[in-house]
C-alpha cells in the first residue's frame, strides 16, 4: 500500500434498515399489510403479530397461517396481499408524514455521510422495494439513497440473504466491490444483526425500534447505541 493509498478515506457501503432505524411511520405500515391480507384471503379478523425485523412476505405469510389459511394457498395469496398492501401504503404517504417522524439525528447523519465521496448509502429492509421507497419518501429522505442497489423483502423473504443481494447489485450496477470490513448494516433488531452476521459484515444497532434500547443493548453487534443522535460518535464508528 502506498502513502497515497493510506491517505485516502476508507470506502464504506452503508445498508440502512427503514422502520425503527431511519423513521417511524406510525400505524400505516402495519395497517397496509393487514388490509392486504384481509382482502386477499377474505378475512375479517387477524392475529396481532410482532413485525420487527421481518420481511413483508414473511409477515404476510405468518398472518395468513395464523388466521387458518392452508399452507398450500400461500403461494397464490401472498403476492395478492402484498400488491394490495403496496397500493394502500402509496395512498397514505401524506398520512405517514403526519403520524410518523424521522428518528433522532438521522437527517444530520445522512447529510454528513452524503457529503463524503467514499460513502455509498442504500436500503436493506424487509419492506418490498416500492414500500421502502414510499416510506423514506414520505419524509423527504429518498435522495440520500442509491435505491437500485438496495435489497428488499421482494428479493427474498429470508432477511439473512439480503446483504449478498446488495453486494451483487453494487458490483453489477456501480462497478464497486466492498470487503466485509467496509460494509455496515444499521438496524434496530436482532434480525438486522443476524442478517449482517450471515454475510460477515459489520453491524450497528440503535435502540430506536419498538423494543427500545433494552432489546439490543446486550446483543453482540459491532456497535450498539441508544440512538443515532450523536453524529460525531456514529461517524467515528462507521468511518473509523
Q: Are residues 229 and 165 in the same domain?
A: yes
Q: Are residues 15 and 77 in the same domain?
A: no
Return the residue matching grid coordinates 391480507. 37
The overall average pLDDT reported for the chain is 94
Q: Give residue 209's pLDDT band: very low, low, confident or very high (50, 70, 90).
A: very high
Query: Which run of H or of E encompasses 191?
Result: helix 190-199
pLDDT in tens, 30-57: 999 999 999 999 998 888 888 988 999 9
196-209: average pLDDT:
97
Q: Check residue 220 and give its pLDDT.
A: 95
N- to C-terminal Cα separation, the chain: 18
Query: Is pLDDT above 80 for 1?
Result: no
CATH number assigned to the domain comprising residue 232: 3.40.50.1000
Q: Are residues 151 and 52 in the same domain?
A: no
Distance CA 217, CA 235 (A): 19
Q: Check residue 3 and give its pLDDT.
A: 40
Q: Check residue 46 and give its pLDDT.
A: 87
Distance CA 191, CA 181 (A): 19
* Structural domain of 144: 3-25+100-239
Q: Are residues 119 and 168 in the same domain?
A: yes
- Of 62, 97, 132, the position where a domain reaches its end is 97
Q: Check residue 8 and give its pLDDT.
A: 57
119-139: average pLDDT:
97
Return the residue matching grid coordinates 462497478. 175
Question: Phi and psi (nearest 5°) for 219?
Answer: -75, 150
65-90: average pLDDT:
95
Q: Are residues 49 and 9 in the same domain?
A: no
Q: Are residues 181 and 127 in the same domain?
A: yes
Q: Give residue 126's pLDDT band: very low, low, confident or very high (50, 70, 90).
A: very high
Q: Are residues 123 and 233 in the same domain?
A: yes
Q: Are residues 109 and 79 in the same domain?
A: no
Q: Are residues 131 and 177 in the same domain?
A: yes
pLDDT in tens, 149-161: 999 999 999 999 9
Q: Are residues 117 and 212 in the same domain?
A: yes
Q: Check residue 5 and give its pLDDT.
A: 44
Q: Are residues 11 and 38 in the same domain?
A: no
118-139: average pLDDT:
97
Q: Which of 178, 154, 212, 219 is nearest to 14 (CA)?
A: 178
Query: Is pLDDT above 60 for 2?
Result: no
Q: Check residue 162 and give its pLDDT.
A: 98
Q: Are residues 19 and 47 in the same domain?
A: no
Task: Identify which has the larger pLDDT, 17 or 7.
Answer: 17
Q: How many domains does the chain have?
A: 2
- Of 64, 97, 130, the position where a domain reaches its end is 97
Q: Check residue 71 and give its pLDDT.
A: 95
22-28: average pLDDT:
95
- Of 40, 69, 97, the position where a domain reaches its end is 97
Contact of 205 with 170, CB cutoff 8 Å = no
Distance CA 50, CA 47 (A): 10
Question: Phi and psi (nearest 5°) for 156?
Answer: -160, 140
| 151: helix, strand or coil | strand
Query: Is pLDDT above 50 for 4?
Result: no
Distance CA 202, CA 9 (A): 18
Return the residue matching grid coordinates 420487527. 52
Amino acid at each position: 500500500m502506498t502513502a497515497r493509498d493510506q491517505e485516502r478515506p476508507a470506502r464504506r457501503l452503508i445498508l440502512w434498515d427503514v422502520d425503527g432505524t431511519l423513521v417511524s411511520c406510525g400505524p400505516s405500515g402495519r395497517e397496509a399489510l393487514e388490509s392486504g391480507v384481509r382482502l386477499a384471503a377474505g378475512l375479517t379478523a387477524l392475529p396481532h403479530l410482532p413485525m420487527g425485523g421481518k420481511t413483508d412476505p414473511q409477515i404476510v405469510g405468518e398472518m395468513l397461517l395464523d388466521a387458518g389459511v392452508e399452507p398450500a394457498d400461500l403461494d397464490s395469496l401472498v403476492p395478492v396481499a402484498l400488491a394490495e398492501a403496496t397500493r394502500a401504503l402509496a395512498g397514505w404517504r401524506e398520512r405517514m408524514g403526519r403520524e410518523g417522524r424521522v428518528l433522532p439525528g438521522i437527517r444530520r447523519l445522512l447529510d454528513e455521510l452524503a457529503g463524503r465521496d467514499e460513502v455509498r448509502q442504500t436500503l436493506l429492509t424487509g419492506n418490498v422495494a416500492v414500500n421502502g421507497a414510499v416510506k423514506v419518501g414520505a419524509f423527504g429522505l429518498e435522495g440520500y439513497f442509491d435505491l437500485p442497489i438496495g435489497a428488499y423483502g421482494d428479493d427474498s423473504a429470508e432477511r439473512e440473504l439480503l446483504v449478498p443481494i446488495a453486494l451483487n447489485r453494487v458490483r453489477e450496477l456501480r462497478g464497486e466491490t466492498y470487503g466485509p470490513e467496509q460494509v455496515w448494516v444499521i438496524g434496530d433488531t436482532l434480525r438486522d444483526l443476524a442478517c449482517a452476521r450471515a454475510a460477515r459484515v459489520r453491524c450497528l444497532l440503535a435502540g430506536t425500534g419498538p423494543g427500545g434500547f433494552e432489546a439490543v443493548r446486550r446483543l453482540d453487534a459491532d456497535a450498539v447505541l441508544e440512538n443515532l443522535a450523536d453524529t460525531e460518535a456514529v461517524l467515528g464508528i462507521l468511518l473509523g
